[in-house]
Homo-oligomer: A and B are copies of this chain.
Amino acid sequence: MGNKQNYVVAVVGATGAVGQQMIATLEKRDFPVKEIKYLSSKRSAGTTLYYKGQEVIVQEATPDAFEGVDIALFSAGGSVSKELAHEAVKRGAVVVDNTSAFRMAEDVPLVVPEVNDKDLFNHKGIIANPNCSTIQMVVALEPIRQTIGLNKVVVSTYQAVSGAGVTAIEALKEQAQAFLNGEEATPSVLPVKSGEKHYQIAFNAIPQIDVFTENGYTYEEMKMINETKKIMHLPELKISATCVRLPVISGHSESVYIEVDKEVTVEELKTILSDAPGIVLQDDPDQQLYPMPFYSIGSNDVFVGRIRKDLDNPLGFHLWIVSDNLLKGAAWNSVQIAEKLIELSII
């Protein structure tokens, strides 16, 4: 494709929660856009959206809609990616796919630019954007791996509803209002829209994100486990996850226990993290300073705090990691991959 100044960019799933943030991020980053295309399902086609104040009519995502597209950012669900990503590549586009469709495919790089941007050189048209809860964790774990090694991770997540899309945000708000009015809600979205049972998320916590796999872990948990190993090139990493949905609009939080190879002080670990790309250290107990999801909304950063030494294992540490799941966890990481492709002259 060769280097050029400006690109034809398609946003697939433009009307969704992540699609909207992708558009806002392209605008904010002043991404070198020659032409923007908003694509969606047939149902949403025809909607009028904007790019930098200019009207853009959403078109149906069909194979031919990708003619002339240089970069296609997909976030319209795994089935859409499976159907259309290769069609886009065939027509000359590089696809950055935010779904789980290709993440574990051997010939698809799974990239978090702060961690493994070099993997972009191996792409064959499709680059996968990892799961939101994985991204923010590996941004914090990679500088640790590089400096003091990493051999065990136990993570418990506190995940926002926006990871399940606009309908989940609306469901949380409606259920919360019903509860405050003393009325009963009729849940129909979470934990899994197509699932048999639905539970209230307002004033609740649901320990299920995505469906269950045969080993008793959910797909979300297995995504965190498998994607972390792939992104960090640590196939032998000992890692387990428990993923929980919270009544939080946006901003995922993670309580992470790690075991490292080399003994360091908490202060040394703080320095390692504050020097690392993409991370903002928020860690001062005296000032009650620590990351919180509500206050992370709108930022591209990964916030890390509550860094403590384990009280028994001198190689054990505890961290609290927070990021806006729609931004670093999705839209920003996708646009950042696109920027990296340009920066590294891969596109």
Query: Residues of A at under 8 Å CB distance from B?
Result: 152, 154, 156, 158, 173, 176-177, 180, 191, 195-197, 199-200, 203-208, 212, 215-217, 225, 238-240, 242, 244, 246-249, 251, 253, 255, 257, 266, 285-288, 290-295, 305-313, 316, 318, 320
Contacts and interface: CB of A to CB of B under 8 A. Distances in A.
- What copy number does this chain have within its complex? 2
Given A238-B312, A238-B313, A154 B292 contact: no
A295 B202 CA distance: 12
Contacts of A246: 158, 205, 246-247
Contacts of A305: 207
Contacts of A152: 312
A194 to B, nearest CB: 12
B240 A318 contact: yes
Closest 3 CB pairs of A and B: A204-B294, A156-B255, A212-B285
Given A154-B154, A306-B216, A288 B191 contact: yes
A293 B199 CA distance: 11
B240 A257 contact: yes
Nearest to A206: B292
A238 B196 CA distance: 40
A170 to B, nearest CB: 12
Contacts of A312: 152, 238-240
Nearest to A153: B312
B294 A203 contact: yes
Contact of A286 (B212, B240, B253, B285): B212
A28 B291 CA distance: 42
Contacts of A191: 288
B238 A205 contact: no
A288 B195 contact: yes
A252 to B, nearest CB: 10
Contacts of A242: 255, 306, 318, 320
A196 B257 contact: no
Contacts of A215: 308-309, 311
Contacts of A311: 215, 217, 225, 239-240
Contacts of A156: 156, 255
A292 B240 contact: no
A208 B288 contact: yes
